[in-house]
């Protein structure tokens, strides 16, 4: 109880000693796109390309016995889920706006479902 009361009484004077007086009081957002943006964009593009290429190869070989036994409908369902997750990762790399955040969450959740 006494420690909590001391913190309440001395909060303003204690905090002002920890924060330098020239510390910026306004939030400064960095609008430049850094290495993380380009890396995430590249990896999501590679993932989307690989899923689409796998989808095409699976369709071309749909008459082979291995693909028929694996059930083409199930493979299409898996590939569609992978594509949705890859698209969701592409939305994650975009700058944060409400629509891209919502789209990313939806694509990833529906892709994993």
Whether the CB-CB separation of 47 and 89 falls below 8 Å is answered with yes
Query: What distance in Å separates the CA atoms of residue 43 and residue 46, rounded to the nearest whole number?
Result: 5
Query: Both tokens of residue 80?
Result: 């569609």
Whether the CB-CB separation of 107 and 85 falls below 8 Å is answered with yes
pTM: predicted TM-score of the whole model, two decimal places: 0.68
pLDDT value at residue 27: 67
Name the pLDDT band for 25 (thresholds 50, 70, 90).
Answer: low
Of the candidates 102, 51, 59, 56, the one whose C-alpha atom is nearest the C-alpha of residue 79 is 51
CA 62 to chain centre: 33
Name the pLDDT band for 4 (thresholds 50, 70, 90).
Answer: confident
């Amino acid at each position: 109880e006494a420690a909590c009361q001391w913190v309440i009484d001395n909060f303003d004077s204690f905090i002002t000693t920890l924060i330098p007086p020239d510390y910026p009081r306004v939030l400064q957002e960095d609008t430049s796109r850094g290495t993380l943006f380009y890396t995430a964009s590249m990896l999501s593009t590679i993932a989307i390309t690989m899923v689409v290429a796998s989808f095409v190869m699976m369709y071309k070989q749909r008459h082979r016995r291995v693909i028929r036994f694996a059930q083409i409908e199930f493979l299409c369902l898996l590939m569609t889920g992978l594509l949705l997750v890859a698209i969701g990762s592409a939305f994650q790399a975009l700058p944060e706006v409400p629509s891209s955040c919502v789209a990313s969450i939806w694509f990833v959740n529906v892709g994993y479902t």
